[in-house]
Structure 1
Amino acid sequence: MSRSIDVITHFGPEADKPEIITELQNLTKVHALTVEDLYIKWEQFSNQKRQTHTDLTSKNLDEFKQFLQLQMEKRATQISSNSKINPSIKKPLINKSLNSSPLFGLNIPKTPTLKKRRLHGPSSLSDSKKPYTAGSEVETNGNGDSSLKLEFTPGVPEGNEDTKFQPSAKSLNVNTPNPSTFQTPTINTPTALKLSTTGGKILDSLNPENVEISPGNSNVGLDSTEELPPSEVRVEPFYDAKKYRFRTMRQNLQEASDVLDDQIDSFTRIIQDHYKLSPNDFADPTIQSQSEIYAVGRIVPDSPTYDKFLNPESLALETSRMGGVGRRVRLDLSQINELSFFLGQIVAFKGKNANGDYFTVNSTLALPYPNSPVSTPEELQEYQANLEGSSLKVIATCGPYFADDSFSLELLEDFISRINTEVKPHVLILFGPFIDITHPLIASGKLPNFPQFKTQPKTLDELFLKLFTPILKTISPHIQVILIPSTRDAISNHAAYPQASLIRKALQLPKKNFKCVTNPSSFQINEIYFGCSNVDTFKDLKEVIKGGTTSSRYRLDRVSEHILQQRRYYPIFPGSIRTRIKSNNIQVKKESNNVKGNEEKVYEHISGADLDVGYLGLTEFAGGFTPDIMIIPSDLQYFARVVQNVVVINPGRFIRATGNRGSYAQITVTCPDLEDGKLTLVEGEEPVYLHNVWKRARVDLITS
């Protein structure tokens, strides 16, 4: 009797019929579901039929049975196709790692206000539509196989089947790291790296025919014991650091939804102003209407059970509470010939919902690009005088800084030596992770023995102080050093994105030339605005593409344009989660013939974007304008491009998993000159100049 009441409670008065109750109860028994779970399946079934309400008729119940059967068969097929049957393997008892990063926190940020004036970008897009590209093909930055046989493994890029992991028998019972583990090392110190290539080799260049490589900082090499001369460059952060010091793991759904709503509403105002539309032109796309309307919303999948493979027929539009009570409506994109969409993208459409089931899109409204930064003639002349007419040199590198089977920093030591003696940059930007929490030796808790230390490091903070700090202190005090954390950094106590800066004092780094900034961060080096983000947007952004013109374009150009149009360093929502199958953790149920079995895959969380939804406002472009140079490290092949008059750079990883040399970016920007014609004068009440860094910059991608 109680089960009958549960059925009526969940399915409504329509289910108060003996034959319907019997059918639904049978389905709960056959598929081992609770009434609540069965009702959730029924809602999925109704959503797939594109109906807001599906009647409980015999015909629909028969179709519902087929729906459940297909789901069960699909799940069984995936398990059998992705697993290797091995009846002799038993599932061991594994202690779960406590090293996972927090995913969510809370509160609503506000983008820092800026005193800097902004002007619209170039009026002519003829040049910007044809991005600069590096002239030659470059080597792929593949990952080698790891030689260690450990229980926990580093992050493996999705779809990279070349990186395999074979656990040893002893690795099946590795405990969570604890102080005693650190005090009793179980492996020896790795030998020096065997580097197959030479450092300092130029792999690729952007704009080499127009700009010569900067000779560098003339002060580097001077006696550091004497009083330092005035710096040739000025580094100024362009954000409010206090707003990044929030507590994670405190997500409030109401505040998170407010942030997501604000994103849609703010773009509605931008579209309205840019296209000179009236507020009455915008309406709710989920309501049936025969009139064309304008609608702004977020791209989402049309089904909660999507399997990460989307197409133009499987997309829906999510509205804000103000624009459509937060409801979703499926999109009919059959009339659109060219498109490039991704989950979380804010879009603007013109169309109508004639039947109540679909919003038919007749045209898409391109989002306007943000403004470009400007400077006054007096400011530019001051920067020119500081550099004495020479060009600016900036170096950007991204971790990890040691191989998967080693803690050797031989490559970093060699790199810093070349920085001080040969390269001599004005600014050195170091992206994390410095000590990667997903590193195999760290994840397993097996730190090696360091014979060069009198006392062995007992914590990961001590490991940084003993390994990294002495090397970083050898950097010339005339070089400005900027540290940007990663959510995988073991030395960071803030493992969510956006991420607070590292604590320079705790790292025992000099105050005079070291600066720790947030992730993401915007800062100014002389007149040039840099935008840096240490989350892999280029890899995580998966597009839904339609049309030959769109698909034939270089993918990294499309992704860069999405970032600029969305005005956020990480416009994807929800964020990515990187997992891998733990090959040693398989449960096998032996059958009577002892030949076949069923496998249960166990997934291990490695890392991800780790978005803190309540603070996503801090990931927006500071001041609402584009940076002159945008640096976003990625696991993908290093590159340097000019997209919409913005220099976009992926410096690549400093070292590969196998210990081979990686790459870094060397940026040269000529000194601003009001007379050479490379700066664009913008008339107004007070004359200002567009920086046009894309005309004045050269980027070299070099082996580390």
Structure 2
Amino acid sequence: MDSKDIIAAFGPSESLNDEVIEKINTLKQIFQLSTDDIFVRWETYNVNEVQNDLDLNTVNLEGFQQYLQRELSNQTRATPSIKKAKDFGSIKRKPLLPINSSSPIETPNKFRKLGETPFKTPNTHLKLDSSPGDNFHTANNTFQRSPVNNLSSSPTKPDSNSVIETLNAHIDEISNDYETDFKFKIATNFDAAKYKFRTMSMKLLESADVLDEQIDTMASLYQEVHKDTQFGNPCLSSQFQITCCGRIVPDSALYDKLFNQDLNATSLYLETSRLSGIGQRVPLDLTNVKEYSLFPGQIVCLEGKNPTGRGFIVDKILELPELGAPVTPIEEIKEISEGFKGTDGLKFVIACGPFSNSSNLNYNKFEQFINRINNEIKPDLVILCGPFVDLNNKSVVDGEIELPQEKVQPVNLDEVFKKTITPILKKLNPKIQAILIPSLRDATVKHCSYPQDSFDRKALGLPKNVKVFPNPNGFSINEIVFGCSNLDVFKDLKDVSKIDSSSKILSNRFERIINHIFDQRRYYPIFPGSVIRRPCNDKKVVESLDGIMAEELSETKIGGSSLEVSYMGLAELGDSLPDVLISPSELKYFAKVVKNVIVINPGSFIRPYKDDTKQEGTYVVMNTRVPDLEDSDNVEAINDDSNLYYHNVFKRSRIDIYKS
């Protein structure tokens, strides 16, 4: 039995006994699924089907098996005939300049010239080790306990507002009394004006330019590090080994769009840019590769040959240049340290919507949460990610919105926000700063595609201490660099992987995806994006649509990634890795350290439940100590002669995941 893989995927728990592990292995054999696929579908079953956080036991796994059987039968029913299908056609860490609050880092333009590169290629000799023991720590005990990061977790169901898991438990919590005049600086690393583009007006040639640019830019970055490399065209027949760069794409245009098809190693193609291979695609043969993790949209550099002209035989997948880590001059570090005026550090609260039950617009629990922030947690900054007024909420879908506490009922969804969310946010202590980040499921934001513009704070009547940022975004709090993307990459990214015991590729799916985000230098590196489908049994809806795909179109629901391809330059990480990456997901909450970056999935504040009285979820409290030049587990000089310091936020931060 693959007990180690199952424990690594589902996390250590008392419920994972031999009987449960044997049942999971049986499901893997019946449905021909990997451990990661079983875990993702179990989480999907909890969120979408039963709308409950089920215990992992044999009784619930029987219901899960029936769900998998229904899903399999739906896929079989939806498989198109050949006649229909043919209609669709075939770290090195580099010192970087500190973020200046008066001059934000420039956000990538909509287009760049092919000769320009938006990234800096690392050229120092210090490289991040990729071994789990050094740079991969997690709050759910996926790896063994470490003297650097003490990990703790609770096997039993905790009470509300109690700690579920902790990363760096040896660091004390920071207390705030708001009696001092301490102020911290918030600097944005994006140009808000660039998010004001017009949605739903994507042009094919503009999208093609951006997709080509992604390939050509990565090829240029690779050549900057490996200067003797010459790229060839993998689509041309050649008996000699060549190096090429391209994008991984599925062999079918219908992949994961309408039929929830799973990729495998024989269904991957490499797409070239118009500059390197006139945009042609070639099938990939991965037989000679010992280990890999590939997904649609991934930019890769490969070594191999195409002897017949019909397929590219891959001999080696080359490592891409790594992004650098942010640094700050010693003078600024000292200034920041002196500015704390006796306080121990900064405290952050991170939560992601929905903030009401999926059946109604009752925000009492969110109001209680704000009161607890004011009176008990007392943070310096609160980061709230949408959705706030959820498009998938039953009241919004049915159009039956009634607010009992209001004499005059709202006439539009903006007024729903102003009458429900705004009054609660106004109760937030004025000394606490707040940042609101929208979701594609938010009903009160103009942009319904990704990248996404921010909320209109004036129209929504938000108080002065509440700031609105776009999605995705980068910002800094003093020296700490944050990156945030409110789009579920962990649920959407489905990779084809081959991993052995001596593999450098991590067996934990979450950490593989985080590595892909860093390597691809994009918050959402998947292409094409995801589409949400749910069964539609209404024959009138099906009959109202025309064409051979009418039934499938009727099952497409609100959701998915809705990528605005022409503006995907706004979704790039920039010139360095962040210190903290916030990436909310419907899947299980976690806090991990990957390549010296704290990666946080706060989970949903209220998970979807059929029972209106059940409102459970999670949120995160992060405590970060003051930068200290004398402390070995704090900021670190690049070398003995440099006055630039790495922030090492992962060494001086405690992350607690709370049950809401």
Same fold (TM over 0.5): yes
- Report deviation, 1:139: 8.5
Quick one: distance in 2 between partners of 1:363 and 1:114? 27
Match of 2:177 among 218, 225, 228: 218
Quick one: distance in 2 between partners of 1:703 and 1:360? 49
Quick one: distance in 2 between partners of 1:586 and 1:455? 36
Match of 1:283 among 223, 226, 232: 232
Quick one: distance in 2 between partners of 1:485 and 1:702? 22
Q: Partner of 2:418: helix, strand, or coil?
A: helix
Is the CA contact 2:471–2:486 (under 8 Å) kept in the aligned structure 1? yes
- Deviation digits for residues 563-604 of structure 1 (CA, Å, limit 9, x no counterpart): 010000000000101121123447999xxxxxxxxx966413
Partner of 2:164: 203
- Deviation digits for residues 305-356 of structure 1 (CA, Å, limit 9, x no counterpart): 5552211111110000111111011111100011100000000101111110
**1:177-576 maps to which residues of 2 (within 5 A)?**
198-209=159-170, 211-215=171-175, 217-219=176-178, 230-278=181-229, 281-306=230-255, 308-388=261-341, 389-448=343-402, 450-511=403-464, 513-549=465-501, 553-576=507-530
**1:578-593 maps to which residues of 2 (within 5 A)?**
578-585=532-539
The percent identity for this pair of structures is 42
- What one-letter code is carried by the residue in structure 1 that aligns with 2:251? D
TM-score relative to the length of structure 1: 0.71
Partner of 1:645: 596
Match of 2:585 among 634, 639, 648: 634
Does 391-400 or 672-681 show the bigger shift?
672-681
**Taking structure 1 as reference, are residues 414 and 688 closer, same or farther at Cα in structure 2, changes over 3 Å only?**
same
**1:170-181 maps to which residues of 2 (within 5 A)?**
none
Quick one: distance in 2 between partners of 1:119 and 1:524? 25
**1:675 maps to 2:624:** no
**Taking structure 1 as reference, are residues 645 and 486 closer, same or farther at Cα in structure 2, changes over 3 Å only?**
same
Quick one: distance in 2 between partners of 1:695 and 1:603? 47
Partner of 2:618: 663
- Report deviation, 1:214: 1.5
**1:131 maps to 2:136:** yes
**Taking structure 1 as reference, are residues 359 and 136 closer, same or farther at Cα in structure 2, changes over 3 Å only?**
closer
- Report deviation, 1:82: 4.9
Q: Partner of 1:502: helix, strand, or coil?
A: coil
- Deviation digits for residues 117-169 of structure 1 (CA, Å, limit 9, x no counterpart): 9986952416666410215587999xxxxxxxxxxxxxxxxxxxxxxxxxxxx
**Taking structure 1 as reference, are residues 267 and 399 closer, same or farther at Cα in structure 2, changes over 3 Å only?**
same
Quick one: distance in 2 between partners of 1:140 and 1:575? 36
**Taking structure 1 as reference, are residues 415 and 197 closer, same or farther at Cα in structure 2, changes over 3 Å only?**
farther
Q: Partner of 1:204: helix, strand, or coil?
A: strand
Quick one: distance in 2 between partners of 1:239 and 1:117? 21
**1:615 maps to 2:567:** yes
- Report deviation, 1:382: 1.8
- What one-letter code is carried by the residue in structure 1 that aligns with 2:110? I
Does 468-477 or 542-551 show the bigger shift?
542-551
Quick one: distance in 2 between partners of 1:695 and 1:385? 20
Quick one: distance in 1 between partners of 2:645 and 2:635? 6
- Report deviation, 1:236: 1.0
Quick one: distance in 2 between partners of 1:276 and 1:668? 43
- What one-letter code is carried by the residue in structure 2 that aligns with 1:698? R
- Deviation digits for residues 234-256 of structure 1 (CA, Å, limit 9, x no counterpart): 11111111001000111111111
Quick one: distance in 1 between partners of 2:75 and 2:186? 56
**Taking structure 1 as reference, are residues 233 and 545 closer, same or farther at Cα in structure 2, changes over 3 Å only?**
same
Q: Partner of 2:209: helix, strand, or coil?
A: helix
Is the CA contact 2:199–2:564 (under 8 Å) kept in the aligned structure 1? yes
**Taking structure 1 as reference, are residues 247 and 537 closer, same or farther at Cα in structure 2, changes over 3 Å only?**
same
TM-score relative to the length of structure 2: 0.75
Question: Which structure has the larger Rg?
Answer: 1
**Taking structure 1 as reference, are residues 478 and 343 closer, same or farther at Cα in structure 2, changes over 3 Å only?**
same
- Deviation digits for residues 83-129 of structure 1 (CA, Å, limit 9, x no counterpart): 9xxxxxxxxxxxxxxxxxxxxxxx93469999999986952416666
Match of 1:692 among 619, 635, 648: 648
- What one-letter code is carried by the residue in structure 1 that aligns with 2:162? K
**Taking structure 1 as reference, are residues 374 and 115 closer, same or farther at Cα in structure 2, changes over 3 Å only?**
farther
Is the CA contact 2:121–2:321 (under 8 Å) kept in the aligned structure 1? no
**1:6-45 maps to which residues of 2 (within 5 A)?**
none
**Taking structure 1 as reference, are residues 423 and 443 closer, same or farther at Cα in structure 2, changes over 3 Å only?**
same
**1:108 maps to 2:110:** yes
Q: Runs of 5+ in structure 1 lacking a partner?
A: 1-76, 84-106, 142-195, 223-228, 590-598
- Deviation digits for residues 167-223 of structure 1 (CA, Å, limit 9, x no counterpart): xxxxxxxxxxxxxxxxxxxxxxxxxxxxx97432000111112x11121x331xx6x
Does 381-390 or 656-665 show the bigger shift?
381-390
The alignment of Structure 1 onto Structure 2 pairs a total of residues equal to: 527
- Report deviation, 1:494: 1.0
Is the CA contact 1:117–1:374 (under 8 Å) kept in the aligned structure 2? no
- What one-letter code is carried by the residue in structure 2 that aligns with 1:273? E
- Deviation digits for residues 375-423 of structure 1 (CA, Å, limit 9, x no counterpart): 0111111221222351211110000010022221111111111100110
Quick one: distance in 2 between partners of 1:689 and 1:600? 58
**Taking structure 1 as reference, are residues 300 and 135 closer, same or farther at Cα in structure 2, changes over 3 Å only?**
closer
**Taking structure 1 as reference, are residues 528 and 587 closer, same or farther at Cα in structure 2, changes over 3 Å only?**
closer
Q: Output the aligned Cα RMSD.
A: 2.9
**Taking structure 1 as reference, are residues 109 and 533 closer, same or farther at Cα in structure 2, changes over 3 Å only?**
farther
- What one-letter code is carried by the residue in structure 1 that aligns with 2:653? A
Is the CA contact 2:358–2:393 (under 8 Å) kept in the aligned structure 1? yes
- Report deviation, 1:686: 5.7
Quick one: distance in 2 between partners of 1:673 and 1:645? 18
Quick one: distance in 1 between partners of 2:119 and 2:276? 32
**Taking structure 1 as reference, are residues 299 and 384 closer, same or farther at Cα in structure 2, changes over 3 Å only?**
same
**Taking structure 1 as reference, are residues 613 and 434 closer, same or farther at Cα in structure 2, changes over 3 Å only?**
same
**Taking structure 1 as reference, are residues 615 and 545 closer, same or farther at Cα in structure 2, changes over 3 Å only?**
same
Partner of 1:177: none
Is the CA contact 2:488–2:585 (under 8 Å) kept in the aligned structure 1? yes
- Report deviation, 1:438: 1.6
Q: Partner of 1:581: helix, strand, or coil?
A: coil
Quick one: distance in 2 between partners of 1:431 and 1:538? 16
Quick one: distance in 2 between partners of 1:429 and 1:519? 13
